Copies of this chain bind each other. A is one copy, B any other.
Amino acid sequence: MEWEIREERFKEERIPALGNRFLVGNGYLGVRGTLEEYTKTQLAAVNLAGIFDQVGDGWREPLNAPNGFYTWLKVDGIIYRLPGEEPEEHCMELDYRHGIFSRKTVWKTERGMITLKTERFASLDQVHLCCMRYCVSADFHGEIEIFTGIDGDVWDIHGPHYGRFEIEFPDRGSRMTAVTHGEDQSVTVLERFRTDFPCEIRERSFDKKAGHQIAFVSDGCSRYTLEKAVVVFTSRDEQWDMLRGEMILRQFERLGYEGLKQMQIQCWENLWKYSEVRIEGDEEAMASLNYSIYHLLSIAPREGKSLSIPARGLSGQTYKGAVFWDTEMFMLDFFLFTDPPAARKLVKYRIDTLEGALQKAESYGWKGAFYAWESQEGGRDACTDYNVTDVFTGRPVRTYFRDKQVHISAAAAYGILRYVELTGDDSVLEEGGLRAVTECARFYDSLLLKYLDRDEYEIHDVIGPDEYHERVNNNGYTNRMAKYVLESAADLLERYPYLAQKLPYDAGTLTERFRDGAVHLKLPVPDEEGILEQFDGYGKLEDASLDEVRGRLLHEKEYWGGANGVASHTKIIKQADVVTWLSLFPEDYSRDIQKKNWEYYEPRTEHGSSLSSCMYAMLACRCGMAEKAYPFFLKSAKADLTDGGKEWAGLVYIGGTHPAAEGGAYMTAVEGFGGLRFGKNGPEVKPCLPKGWESLQFYVCWHGERYLIKIEKEKWEIGKV
């Protein structure tokens, strides 16, 4: 397998998509797959994890660091850049085995050819460090100038965030500290470069940019190589000072680009050792799945406190850099299976942000923990009440994601519970996990409603996974998850009495309430055709086809949901909802019922969320329909490899990478096709491979042990490593 993606030729309109596709990152930062000469116009960005800022009434979003890769080339007075000077040859590559981005561009001039080759990576070993190599050659004697430095005029969606810049020029390098308007946050970028050729160098600072102008005359045959190291740190980093930055730079001086690159390769090889999924007989599947895994590995937080993975990874400010249910429900399994300490970090994020969830619940008059729909640091909810713009009037539209998508707390609890279940490491319960799960259960308990003349308990006025239908009663998925949380919390309280007694509640009373709630909570039951109604009244909605509904759009960027969207009063749903329920709780209903619901809901699903396909793929595998699952699996695995993903919700840009789809593709491969599950004695499989897959091989962790699983058609081996 090639472990590379490549984009030949240059097309300006593809710049935003490629910026996502060729991303390199290390969990601390993400460097968009943009070219060195790009500025904010081309959405160049070094996106930072876990540091946020708000300007005026704009959305609160993560900071982009000043871009330390910023470099351009001038030959005989003409700047050669893209877009601008049409290239003779152009190619971008991403070695996703090792997280190395490279680029080659050839320009034909009247005097001869100029070739630019660059390479860069975000160090996995030292997450504050990025490295770059910039090689120029010309087959003529040209007056060449390279500008390289730091571009503080960064791309912002709701900016500009920086109000002030401090610039200094230490020896062969620049330093820029960008300070937010509120003066409460700052990002510092240090760069140091070295050249392998004699040249004139002078400092330059202009237009929020600082760096050096490097001038020389090419000899017609040499390659001129500039290497640089870029160090990034922020006011959020603990125990950071310039000295530490200097130490990192000194390592660069000592080892050079090549030395650091070898370390990078080694680090990635170590990661892949147990992360790689091998599929014999289907190179496309194997390549796109491992490409998906590459992204997950690139954005997982390994250092720093209280970090998780944002819904668009580290590809930009889209979705406010916030953490959604995506992490627990779609990405967590990958880390649980391959890197439990990383999974623990994700799970701890929810425990650390419990305070925010308690406050949010209280602000709405509920008890317990109502986690942020769009979680920023401290569990702060970045989701606004007006999250979509009406394309016809330009007005913000009141949406209910923040206040009604109550299944988010179940996701938080699910993550903690699943971590304990698969790792056997119950120390997280002691470190606040039991409290968090209990508070989630208290939250659902406080939502329970009962009609005086009925016996069941109900949960009203929510949004389920299918966001096109707002403010519905008794969403099956939500109620099922609430029941799961209530039951699980009751179980934990009984199993961990010494932890339960530290809670500020009477554990016995809570347990009883939770059990009662779980028993009486209303869940849809299959109708005569075996269909589970997604929510009360769904069955009475207009049964228009997807094409019909799409045909009613009057504007391409129109939002399908909300009060009056084209889908809102029809059966067309945005994404897997009942199917997500059945996929998570296959034991609830027979394979026959699962299949009937799959077949009922699939044609009614727009798959307008990248979270949809993998759930359909997963459930199809559970029903033994590997061939039906396969296209959904591939769609999920290629979410960031294929053009045409949704880039707009109303007038809001939602482009970026799709880690949930990537995690979903992984889940489908190992839990769907592989049929991986966990019994009392560890992993078991019940494979259901698609046509052409000769074998499927992966590693999986369980209770402190690592297992290698090899499946060959109907046979398999499971062995401890």
Chain A interface (Cβ < 8 Å from any Cβ of B): 367, 385, 390, 392-393, 395, 397-398, 445-446, 448-453, 457, 460-461, 471, 513, 517, 554, 562-564, 568-569
Interface centre among A398, A457, A563 (most CB of B within 10 A): A563
- 18 A-B pairs whose Cβ atoms sit less than 8 Å apart in the complex: A367-B453, A385-B569, A390-B564, A397-B564, A398-B569, A445-B452, A445-B453, A446-B451, A448-B451, A449-B449, A449-B450, A452-B513, A452-B517, A460-B461, A461-B461, A562-B563, A563-B563, A564-B564
Bound: A277/B46 CA distance, A: 80
Bound: A681/B295 CA distance, A: 85
Q: Which residues of B contact A452 (CB under 8 A)?
A: 445, 448-450, 457, 513, 517
A398 touches B564 (CB 8 A): yes
Bound: A568/B397 CA distance, A: 11
Bound: A592/B471 CA distance, A: 38
Q: Which residues of B contact A562 (CB under 8 A)?
A: 563-564
**Residue A392 contacts which of B392, B446, B460 (CB distance < 8 angstroms)?**
B392
Bound: A449/B453 CA distance, A: 9
Minimal beta-carbon separation of A57 from chain B (angstroms): 13
Bound: A390/B392 CA distance, A: 11
Bound: A453/B361 CA distance, A: 15
Q: Which residues of B contact A397 (CB under 8 A)?
A: 564
Bound: A465/B108 CA distance, A: 75
Bound: A203/B335 CA distance, A: 93
Q: Which residues of B contact A385 (CB under 8 A)?
A: 569
Minimal beta-carbon separation of A463 from chain B (angstroms): 14
Minimal beta-carbon separation of A404 from chain B (angstroms): 12
Minimal beta-carbon separation of A680 from chain B (angstroms): 36
Bound: A63/B513 CA distance, A: 59
Give 16 A-B pairs besides A367-B453, A398-B569 with Cβ atoms closer than 8 angstroms. Answer: A385-B569, A393-B554, A397-B564, A445-B452, A445-B453, A446-B451, A448-B451, A448-B452, A449-B449, A449-B460, A450-B450, A450-B452, A452-B517, A460-B460, A460-B461, A563-B564
Residue of B nearest to A563 (CB): B563
3 pairs of A and B residues whose beta carbons are closest in the complex: A563-B563, A392-B392, A448-B452
Q: Which residues of B contact A554 (CB under 8 A)?
A: 393
Minimal beta-carbon separation of A550 from chain B (angstroms): 15
Residue of B nearest to A555 (CB): B393
Residue of B nearest to A442 (CB): B453
Bound: A275/B381 CA distance, A: 63
B398 touches A563 (CB 8 A): yes
B450 touches A446 (CB 8 A): no
Q: Which residues of B contact A563 (CB under 8 A)?
A: 398, 562-564
Bound: A449/B454 CA distance, A: 10
Residue of B nearest to A473 (CB): B461
A393 touches B395 (CB 8 A): no
Bound: A398/B452 CA distance, A: 29
A398 touches B568 (CB 8 A): yes
Residue of B nearest to A363 (CB): B540
B449 touches A451 (CB 8 A): yes
Minimal beta-carbon separation of A163 from chain B (angstroms): 29
**Residue A393 contacts which of B392, B449, B461 (CB distance < 8 angstroms)?**
B392
Bound: A562/B397 CA distance, A: 12
A453 touches B446 (CB 8 A): yes
Bound: A460/B564 CA distance, A: 21
Bound: A393/B393 CA distance, A: 10
Minimal beta-carbon separation of A448 from chain B (angstroms): 5
Q: Which residues of B contact A460 (CB under 8 A)?
A: 449, 460-461
Q: Which residues of B contact A392 (CB under 8 A)?
A: 392-393
Minimal beta-carbon separation of A486 from chain B (angstroms): 12
Q: Which residues of B contact A398 (CB under 8 A)?
A: 563-564, 568-569
Interface centre among A448, A453, A569 (most CB of B within 10 A): A453
A395 touches B451 (CB 8 A): no
Q: Which residues of B contact A450 (CB under 8 A)?
A: 449-452
Minimal beta-carbon separation of A553 from chain B (angstroms): 10
Bound: A166/B449 CA distance, A: 60
Q: Which residues of B contact A446 (CB under 8 A)?
A: 451, 453
Minimal beta-carbon separation of A521 from chain B (angstroms): 11
Bound: A398/B471 CA distance, A: 14
Bound: A233/B397 CA distance, A: 51
Minimal beta-carbon separation of A462 from chain B (angstroms): 12
Minimal beta-carbon separation of A517 from chain B (angstroms): 7
Bound: A446/B367 CA distance, A: 27
Bound: A94/B471 CA distance, A: 52
Residue of B nearest to A448 (CB): B452
Bound: A367/B451 CA distance, A: 12
Bound: A390/B562 CA distance, A: 14
